[in-house]
């Protein structure tokens, strides 16, 4: 383990457990003060960040017997949402998420982890370059090749989820770019960005797909890469540099890209008179710090009303799908999403907007299971709902 992560573990020896809560300065609802999904479900301290840090200490000092089924559950039930990292009052330099992901990496190296469910998508990435066991050749089935401009300086990195599961988001993003008369391209040999691999500790394969994607993008000689997937964006923005990869092109989430166009007066929207609420994806919010751009885009729509949920921005409640939890602990993922859906309902709106296809996927699964009348839209879909006037 890297020396600096050992320092993080020992600095957390105070075990104040403040990191399980939202910031008390913004507490507006007594029912929404605990902000750690796994900790709230399982209750025991070991499922909160402080407890996991103590477990990490036991693992690196080899004083803790591994593996046990319960220990793996504790380590892999973390959605890596980053609330603990954001809220730590004792020492803001402590990085619990990086520690937990490093522990998962150690377990994979020792062939103790990951979970069997994770091995399914890991093997799929190895053979089909996506975690969904879909054929790689069908990755671009949703778009006509004639819409792609091969020598464009703008690349749209679609990601696996929108390529195979939430194609509505990919189509909406492409439609907006076309309506704005913007030339763009998509890498024909785009592979999984590696986010699900890095989250569960499969770093070796994560590095392999990272190098492949960068080489493919370099061949296209682009200047900017935009992402509609918060997870892919976070992976390029943070994980790739952390694993030694320098980017010689600019990266932006589509919300930032559109926000810049709005500021430059290059895009305007038609009236859309309805209330909506917005969910901050953990990948885009806490991990990358993008909170303002999506809200600026929403507020730029004439007559729209943005109603915030109790927990928003850096205090957002996770959708429940991240960190390998959607595949490893489906009930936890859905129960976590249910709490967010209930929170969205309290705003009185009928539309929940997000900027992450994985959040959308989990929310839609939850809404279906709950039989709720709540529409889940991506930001790009919301913009098309009202219409664009260039």
Q: Are residues 120 and 255 in the same domain?
A: yes
**To 10 degrees, what angle do helices 254-263 and 292-299 make?**
50
- pLDDT over 80 at 161, yes or no: yes
From the CA atom positions of the chain, what is the Rg in Å?
A: 20
92 with 133, same domain: the answer is: no
Closest CA to 240 of 45, 231, 57, 185: 231
Q: CA-CA distance, 204 to 182, in Å (whole number)? A: 37
Total structural domains within the chain? 3
Its domain, for residue 202, covers 116-261
Q: State whether 251 and 123 are in the same domain.
A: yes
Provide the pLDDT for residue 171.
98
Question: Mean pLDDT lowest for which of 81-90, 273-282, 379-388?
Answer: 81-90
The share of the chain scoring above pLDDT 90, in percent, equals 85
- Residue 293 contacts residue 278 (beta carbons within 8 Å): no
Beta-bridge partners for 154 = 224
Q: Indicate the residue among 75, 109, 143 that finishes a domain.
A: 109
Q: Treating both helix axes as pointing N-terminal to C-terminal, what angle do 203-220 and 116-128 enclose, rounded to 10 degrees?
A: 30
Phi/psi at 300 (5° precision): -75, -10
Strand order in the sheet with 154-157: 154-157, 224-227, 250-253
Q: Are residues 289 and 368 in the same domain?
A: yes
DSSP state of 151: T
| Three-state helix/strand/coil letters over 100-169 | HHHHHHHHHHCCCCCCHHHHHHHHHHHHHCCCCCCCHHHCCCCCCHHHCCCCCCEEEECCHHHHHCCHHH
Band of the pLDDT at 109, cuts 50, 70, 90? very high
* CATH classification of the domain holding 356: 3.40.50.1860
Kindly report whether the peptide bond that precedes residue 67 is cis, defined as omega within 30 degrees of 0: yes
Is 367:354 a contact under the CB 8 Å cutoff? no
Q: Is residue 23 scored above 80 in pLDDT? A: no
pLDDT at 83: 95
Mean pLDDT value across the chain: 94
- State residue 65's pLDDT score: 79
What's the pLDDT band for 390 if we cut at 50, 70, 90?
low
Q: Are residues 256 and 133 in the same domain?
A: yes
Confidence of residue 388 (pLDDT cuts 50, 70, 90): confident
Q: How far apart are CA 348 and CA 350, in angstroms?
A: 7
- Do 256 and 271 share a domain, yes or no? no
pLDDT at 31 exceeding the cut of 80: no
pLDDT at position 92 is 73
For the record, the structure tokens of 141 come out as 């089935």
pLDDT > 70? residue 332: yes
Q: How far apart are CA 299 and CA 277, in angstroms?
A: 11
Indicate whether 257 and 272 sit together in one domain. no
Q: Are residues 251 and 145 in the same domain?
A: yes
Question: How is residue 26 annotated by DSSP?
Answer: G
Q: Which tokens go with 192?
A: 């999984």
Rounded to an integer, the average pLDDT of 152-170 is: 99
Q: Taking 80 as the threshold, does the pLDDT of residue 175 lie above it? A: yes
CB 312 within 8 Å of CB 384: no
Look at residue 164 in the predicted model and tell me its pLDDT: 99
Give first-to-last CA distance, the chain, whole Å: 52
For residue 155, what are the β-bridge partners? 185, 225
Give yes or no for residue 36 having a pLDDT over 80.
yes
Higher model confidence: residue 141 or residue 390? 141
The reported pLDDT for the residue numbered 3 is 66
Which residues, 6+ apart, have CB-to-CB distance to 88 below 8 Å? 18, 19, 94, 96
Whole-prediction pTM value? 0.96
122 pLDDT band (50/70/90 cuts)? very high
Give the model's pLDDT for residue 183. 97
Residue showing tokens 């964006």: 233
**How far is C-alpha 388 from the chain's CA centre?**
27
pLDDT per position as a tens digit, 284-299: 999 999 999 999 999 9
| Residues written for the chain | 390
Cβ contact 344:374 at 8 Å: yes
Tell me the β-bridge partners of 157: 227
Domain limit, last residue, from 261, 276, 308: 261
Q: Are residues 128 and 209 in the same domain?
A: yes
Longest dimension (CA), the chain: 63
Instruction: Give the β-pairing of 388-389 and 268-269.
Output: antiparallel
**pLDDT tens track for 53-101:** 999 999 988 888 777 889 999 999 999 999 999 988 777 788 999 999 9
- Model confidence pLDDT, tens digit, residues 214-271: 999 999 999 999 999 999 999 999 999 999 999 999 999 999 999 999 999 999 999 9
Which two three-digit tokens encode residue 117?
């469910």
* Pair (317, 246) in one structural domain: no
Domain stops at, among 261, 290, 324: 261
Reply yes or no on whether the pLDDT at 186 is more than 90: yes
User: 318: which DSSP letter?
Assistant: P
Same domain, 244 and 138: yes
Q: Residue 33 has what pLDDT?
A: 81
pLDDT of residue 1 exceeding 80, the answer is no
pLDDT at res. 2? 66
CA distance readout (Å), 322 to 15, 42, 140, 358:
25, 17, 25, 8
- Under the banding of pLDDT at 50, 70 and 90, the label for residue 346 is very high
């Amino acid at each position: 383990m890297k020396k600096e992560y050992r320092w993080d573990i020992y600095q957390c020896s105070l075990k104040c457990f403040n990191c399980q809560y939202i910031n008390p300065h913004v507490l507006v609802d007594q029912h929404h003060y605990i902000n750690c999904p796994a900790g709230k479900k399982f209750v025991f301290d070991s499922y909160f960040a402080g407890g996991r840090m103590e477990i990490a200490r036991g693992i690196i000092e080899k004083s803790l017997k591994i593996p046990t089924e319960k220990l793996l559950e504790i380590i892999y039930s973390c959605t890596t949402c980053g609330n603990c990292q954001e809220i730590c009052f004792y020492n803001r330099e402590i990085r619990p998420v990086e520690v937990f992901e490093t522990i998962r990496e150690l377990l994979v190296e020792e062939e103790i982890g990951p979970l069997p469910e994770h091995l399914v998508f890991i093997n799929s990435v190895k053979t089909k370059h996506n975690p969904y066991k879909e054929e790689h050749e069908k990755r671009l089935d949703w778009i006509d090749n004639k819409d792609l401009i091969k020598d464009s300086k703008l690349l749209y990195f679609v990601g696996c989820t929108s390529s195979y599961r939430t194609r509505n988001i990919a189509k909406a993003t492409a439609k907006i770019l076309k309506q704005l008369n913007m030339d763009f391209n998509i890498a024909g040999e785009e592979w999984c960005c590696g986010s699900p691999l890095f989250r569960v500790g499969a770093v070796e394969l994560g590095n392999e797909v990272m190098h492949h994607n960068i080489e493919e993008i370099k061949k296209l000689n682009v200047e900017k890469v935009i992402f509609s997937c918060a997870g892919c964006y976070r992976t390029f923005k943070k994980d790739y540099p952390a694993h030694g990869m320098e980017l010689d092109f600019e990266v932006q989430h589509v919300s930032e890209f559109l926000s810049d166009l709005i500021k430059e007066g290059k895009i305007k929207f038609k009236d859309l008179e309805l209330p909506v609420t917005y969910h901050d994806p953990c990948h885009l919010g806490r991990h990358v710090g993008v909170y303002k751009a999506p809200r600026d885009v929403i507020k730029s729509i004439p007559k729209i009303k943005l109603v915030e949920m109790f927990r928003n921005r850096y205090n957002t409640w996770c959708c429940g799908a991240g960190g390998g939890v959607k595949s490893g602990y489906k009930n936890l993922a859905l129960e976590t999403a249910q709490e967010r859906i209930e929170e969205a309902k309290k705003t009185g709106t009928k539309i929940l907007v997000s900027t992450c296809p994985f959040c959308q996927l989990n929310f839609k699964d939850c809404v279906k299971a709950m039989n709720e009348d709540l529409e889940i839209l991506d930001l790009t879909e919301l913009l098309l709902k009202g219409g664009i006037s260039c």
